Amino acid sequence: MKNVKTLLAIFAMAMSTLGLQAQDNPEGRKSAMKEHHQQLTEDLKLSEEQSEAWKAVHKEYRPKIKAIRSEEGLSKEQKKEKARVIKAEMDTQLKAILNPEQAAKWEAMKAERKAQHKGESKAKRHEEMATTLGLSEKQTAAWLEIHEKYDAQKREIKEDDSLSDEARQKKMKSVRQQEKEAISKILSPAQLEQLKKLKADHKEQRQAKKGQK
């Protein structure tokens, strides 16, 4: 876990830079999309007819998704929901192009990509939290190990079909409490107080968003 904080900072900066490059470089974005389509064609073994149909679906839905982003009078959450509906429609059209074997592989690819994006987002949040709380390298390493340990336990509880809803909630509450206690042991009193304030602010923001819906 050497230089963990530095590595997380570099990762977050790299992700930010890539995002800016995509926004400011239309040609680069077009080239990346073409490369992605070629790779997808190879991975799914699309026929020429399937490949052209796939591009046609994206050409139809891409402007619709783009229009939502610039639509006025909608909150961020409303735009996100509208985009989700459009993307679901697009996915249905794309899946119709594939045979059962290709469709199964595509679903697996999407699940893997979603997990990767989730991991990247989580790494960025940890980097931001480490900076906000002023964690040392040793504290950051411990922070990551604790969250990795208890996140794995939470996943196991969620995936355990033998548990009733009540039992699942009870076990989840216990794991969260253990995680909270582990985190409190690696923070200074000032850092712990700051963390409590950040959580309280975050909770207040979530409640405010719910009230706007």
Q: How do residues 159-201 score in pLDDT, each as one tens digit?
A: 888 989 999 999 999 999 999 999 999 999 999 999 989 888 8
pLDDT of residue 26: 62
pLDDT above 90 covers a percentage of the chain that reads: 42
d(Cα 56, Cα 204) in Å, to the nearest integer? 44
d(Cα 22, Cα 7) in Å, to the nearest integer? 23
Show the tokens assigned to 5. 């904080």
Specify the pTM: 0.51
CA proximity to 9, closest of 124, 122, 118, 116:
124
Q: How do residues 27-37 score in pLDDT, each as one tens digit?
A: 667 778 888 88
d(Cα 58, Cα 37) in Å, to the nearest integer? 10
Phi/psi at 111 (5° precision): -65, -40
